[in-house]
Structure 1
Amino acid sequence: MTDSAHIPVTQLQPPGADSEAVACSNCAACCCQLEVMLITETGVPERYISTDDWGGEVMLRLDDGWCAALDRDSMRCSIYEQRPLICREFEMASPECIEERRGMATIYR
C-alpha cells in the first residue's frame, strides 16, 4: 500500500479526558436515555409526557429507550426551549455528563 492510499486514523480522546473536548455536538445524546421526572412546569408539550409506575409525570421514552423529544436526525432536543428543569440543570461537561458519556464508552470507539 502506498502512502497516498493510506487512510489516516484519528484517535479520539476518551470521554472525560478533557472537559474542553466534551460538547453536545460530539455526543451521542446519552443524557436523552435517562429517566426525566417533570417536577416543574416548563411547557413540555403533552405528547412528550408519560406517567411512571408511581403516578409521577416523566418524559416519554420510545421503544428504543430514547426520549421522545429527541430529534433522531440531529440528535438534538426538539423542545429545547421547553425542556424540563432536570434537562436544564444537566450541564454539558458537568461531572454527571462526563459520567454518562463514560457509561456509554462503546459509542465513542
Structure 2
Amino acid sequence: MSAALAIDVVDDDVHCARCEAVCCRLPVLLMPDDDVPPWLTGVDEHGLEHMIRREDGWCAALDRDTMRCTIYERRPWICGEFAMGGSDCRAERADWRGDAHG
C-alpha cells in the first residue's frame, strides 16, 4: 500500500465516544450555509465568521461534562467533514498527546 493511500485509511479503533474531543480545540471558520446559533459565533479581524472558543481553547458549543457537541445537528459543515478516525483526526490526537508517530 502506498503512503498516500495509508493516510486516508480510517482507524476503526478511534471513536468519538472514547475521545478527548481534541477536534473541538481547532479553529472553525463558518461557511455561508452553516446554521450555527449566533451566540456561538464571532467575527475575526478579517471579517470571517467563526465558532468562538472559551478562554481555555475549547469550542463554546462543547458540553464540558459530556465532551459532546451541544449543537451536533446544527454543527458547522467542516465539523461534519472531520472524519472520525481519519488521517486528520489521528494527527490531531497524536499532536495533543505529544506523540510524533501518531
- Structure 1 length-normalised TM: 0.77
Match of residue 53, structure 1, among 45, 48, 61: 45
How big is each residue's C-alpha offset from its partner over 1:69-97, in whole Å with a ceiling of 9 and x where there is no partner?
Answer: 00001001000000001001001011000
Q: Are 1:35 and 1:59, in contact at CA under 8 Å, matched by a contact in 2?
A: yes
Q: CA deviation at 1:57?
A: 0.1
Q: Are 1:40 and 1:85, in contact at CA under 8 Å, matched by a contact in 2?
A: no
What is the identity percentage for the equivalent residue pairs of Structure 1 and Structure 2?
Answer: 47
In 1, Cα distance between the equivalents of 2:32 and 2:94?
29
Secondary structure at the counterpart of residue 96 of structure 1? helix
**Gap runs ≥5 in structure 1:** 1-17
Q: CA deviation at 1:42?
A: 2.7
Is the aligned partner of 1:95 residue 2:87? Answer: yes
Q: Which has the larger radius of gyration?
A: 1
In 1, Cα distance between the equivalents of 2:46 and 2:32?
17
Comparing 39-48 with 62-71, greater Cα deviation is found at 39-48
Match of residue 78, structure 1, among 55, 70, 78: 70
In 1, Cα distance between the equivalents of 2:39 and 2:73?
16
User: Residue type of the partner of 2:88?
Assistant: E
Query: Which consecutive aligned stretches of 4+ in structure 1 deviate over 4 angstroms post-superposition?
Result: none
User: Residue type of the partner of 1:44?
Assistant: V
Query: How big is the alpha-carbon RMSD for the aligned residues of Structure 1 and Structure 2?
Result: 1.3
**Gap runs ≥5 in structure 2:** 1-9
In 1, Cα distance between the equivalents of 2:47 and 2:32?
15
In 1, Cα distance between the equivalents of 2:29 and 2:40?
12
